[in-house]
Structure 1
């Protein structure tokens, strides 16, 4: 059994919005299937409004993350349980969507990889565990650590952000309760308060949905600022399977104004690099010249095409 000294932030469940009893669902066990899912749907509708209240903080975080990634830093999500799994999910989607190197966006979970599939008892209760996992990454001042904890009180996450702050990294907190220990522990706090869950305390529900929405904005907003899109097209898509190869071809066709055969040939000529293929087609340069022009404009396609007078 854990001693009190290991839990400096004792849990007062009555003070946590996520642990409250939802009056709308007190008789949920007497409802029929349609009534259950209608109730859950109506509760989920509150999530968007809760996230909306946090948009200024989310935007501030996006700007800070983009600044540090430009300087060679990394985006590191760290959490326990559902929160940790959501961070790993978001991190794992960045390489295929935006062609980011695997080490640019990282997800850490209390208990390590085994905890992705099965709960590791007690792992979230160790502040030192959070510090240890970040220490293994050789954290730097250019990194961003996003602590994910629906409760805002998870010791593993609190230990991690405290360590990150000591080293001068940017720290962001994501929780679904107000006035938590995580709030003063980070530089930017994002706290969509979604209220009591349909099943009391089951934060994989509305709280998990809210965290997923926030993570979508953090990573996607950052990648847009880094030039990973042209309009709403993912021009840095890594064509790692047939579906993504077809998507890359479609993007080249649309932006370069060529047919499918030409787009496929361009992608093959450019080693599957979507942006490079577009610059080759629009500016009539070689793949190597296209890469040099993109590098000169921080890999931002619109700026590159404008400079080459190839942006219509």
Structure 2
């Protein structure tokens, strides 16, 4: 297939002669095009939901979520993965991002790395990718050999696979089950071929959905509270204490005292206050109910 037949490589007629426009006119054009992104994502919600089911299955069976991509796509995967430990209190191994060219490529453009087929496979082997995991390939154009070959390898070891691309006829879709092909058709970019723009924005929205929803489904969110956040700074400590107040309707002083008594564990603090028990008893109940606060309260409150 001709490279310029891909949507991501086509010119956008709306931004024609954008180099002659005023600053305000330029950002108005960019904003009008950006509005199309969530609508494009909406059209593939069914496929996104399918992929999330794969991820939840991996998490529930001691597996991991692994993103793999090159350039902007790879950086977005690493970004989403790096936000999971502080947000949901999970290990840094549970969600990982692989970028062609390694960590150096996070801040630098590394020529030719996305074309290295063997490097994609080696990256998967390096983290001991296995059949409990879910590997999601991310590539706006959809043809990066680094990503495509990594997915082929994943299929060969019965690892669950999915793909995200802005092009309908992307090569990456040829190696993934149709149910797990997320095609976010955002149309041509404002600057021809600059997929860091609309394609990257769509990818960010989709990755947010995948990890957030999967974490909700495995109990890492209570109601809509970030119950398992890792309070590593003063902002998050204050957020934790306020969360305890909101959930239990206790005083701020009680919330603060219990928070520190629980060794800065919001989930345990909530149970300690609502059931008027100590940390050891709260931990025992949470362990018995697989950490589910609703189940603990239904059985004991």
TM-score by length of 1: 0.94
| C-alpha deviation, 1:273, in angstroms | 0.9
Q: In structure 2, what is the equivalent of residue 219 of structure 1?
A: 211
Instruction: Answer whether contact 1:140 1:167 (CA < 8 A) is retained.
Output: yes
2:27 paired with 1:24: no
Q: Distance in 2 between matches of 1:295 and 1:63?
A: 24
CA shift at 1:13, angstroms? Answer: 2.0
1:192 to 1:264, Cα distance in 2 relative to 1, 3 A: same
* Root mean square deviation of aligned Cα: 1.0
Any runs of at least 4 consecutive aligned residues in structure 1 with deviations exceeding 4 A, and if so which? none
CA distance in 2, matches of 1:299, 1:120: 43
Is 1:68 aligned to residue 58 of structure 2? yes
Tell whether the 8 Å contact from 1:226 to 1:300 is kept in structure 2 after alignment. Answer: no
Partner SS, residue 67 of structure 2? strand
Note the alpha carbon deviations across 1:90-147, whole angstroms, 9 max, x for none: 0010011100111111111000010000011111101111100000111111111111
- Is 1:292 the equivalent of 2:284? yes
Show the counterpart of 1:167. 157
Q: TM-score, normalised by structure 2?
A: 0.97
Aligned counterpart in structure 2 of residue 35 of structure 1, from 25, 42, 51: 25
The residue correspondences of 1:249-260 to structure 2 (distance < 5 A) are 249-260=241-252
Structure 2's unaligned 5+ residue stretches are none
- Residues 159 and 246 of structure 1: is their aligned pair in 2 closer, same or farther, counting only changes over 3 Å? same
| Cα offset, 1:256, TM superposition | 1.3
Offset, 1:12? 2.1
Contact 1:22 1:196 in 2 (8 A): yes
After superposition, residues 205-216 of structure 1 pair within 5 angstroms as 205-216=197-208
Cα distance, 1:301 vs. partner?
2.0
Say which SS state the counterpart of residue 182 (structure 1) adopts. Answer: helix
Structure 1 residues 170-209: aligned runs within 5 Å: 170-187=160-177, 188-209=180-201
Partner Cα separation in structure 2 for residue 154 and residue 304 of structure 1: 48
Identify unmatched segments of 5+ residues in structure 1.
1-10
Equivalent position to 1:94, from 81, 84, 90: 84
The answer to whether the 8 A contact 1:141-1:167 is kept is yes
The Cα shift of 1:297 comes to 2.3
CA contact (8 A) 1:250 1:260 kept: yes
Q: Is 2:48 aligned against 1:55?
A: no
Report the count of equivalent residues. 299
2:297 corresponds, among 281, 292, 305, to: 305
